[in-house]
């Protein structure tokens, strides 16, 4: 099952914030974690992660600083901020409302199929 592009875009920012709430990380590791969490079902163009990270940084939801990888290459590490945690809590509320509403419709309806309900990782 491939998840719809618009839905992936909508999930991207809560997903990244959730992963960073688990602890500081950097681009490639964040993407690996996304793949892991979605079992490869989330088709995400890797390059799109970075503009998203920069947007979250500009909004003050995450903080970035340059460090280095074990091989000695420069690497940009990201950490969630207070405002990022608040933003994440807000997004969790919104997603929970959305999934609850859809779940109520699909879970009890005659044509309902269980796979329609989606669990957001970490939420």
Partner 1 sequence: MSSMDVLETQIDQWRAAVTRSRAVDAADVEELEGHLREQVADLELTGLDQEEAFLVAVKRLGAVDSVTAEFAREHGDRLWKQLVLVGESGRRGRPLIAMLVFAVVAAAGIQVARLAGGDQPWFVRDLALFVLPVLAAYFVWLRKPPRRRVIALAAIVVALAVLANVFPFRPDAQTGLLVAIHLPVALWFVVGVAYLGRDRMSSSRRMDFVRFTGEWAIYYVLIALGGGVLMGLTSLVLAPIVSSAVYEQVFLWAIPSGAAAAVIVAAWLVEAKKSVIENIAPVLTAIFTPLFAVMLVAAVIGYLVAGIGHPFNRELLIAFDALLIVVLALVLYGISARDSLKPVGLTDALRLVAMIAAIVLDLVVLGSMLARIGDYGFTPNRVAALAVNVILLVDLAGTAWITGRALAGRVSVVAIDRWQTGYLPVFAAWSVVSVAVLPLVFWFA
Tokens of 104: 């109520």
Least separation, in Å, of the C-beta of 70 and partner 1?
11
Residue 3 engages partner 1 in binding (rule: CB under 8 A)? no
Q: Rule CB under 8 A: is residue 119 a binding residue for partner 1?
A: no
Q: Is 85 helix (H, G, I), strand (E, B) or coil?
A: helix
Q: Which is nearer to partner 1, 57 or 95 (CB)?
A: 57
Out of 2, 39, 73, 115, point to the residue binding partner 1 (CB under 8 A): 73
Min separation Cβ 17 and partner 1, Å = 16
User: Minimum distance from CB of 48 to partner 1 (Å)?
Assistant: 5
DSSP 97-110: HHHHHHHHHHHHST
Q: CB–CB of 24/79 below 8 Å?
A: yes
d(CA 48, CA 42): 13
């Amino acid at each position: 099952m491939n998840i719809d592009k618009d839905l992936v875009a909508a999930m991207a920012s809560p997903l990244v914030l959730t992963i960073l709430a688990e602890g500081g990380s950097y681009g490639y590791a964040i993407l690996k974690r996304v793949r892991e969490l979605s079992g490869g079902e989330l088709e995400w163009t890797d390059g799109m992660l970075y503009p998203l990270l920069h947007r979250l940084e500009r909004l003050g939801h995450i903080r970035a600083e340059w460090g280095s990888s074990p091989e000695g290459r420069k690497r940009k590490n990201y950490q969630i901020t207070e405002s990022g945690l608040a933003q994440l809590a807000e997004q969790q509320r919104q997603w929970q409302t959305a999934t609850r509403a859809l779940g109520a419709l699909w879970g009890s309806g005659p044509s309902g199929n269980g796979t329609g309900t989606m669990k957001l990782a970490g939420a």
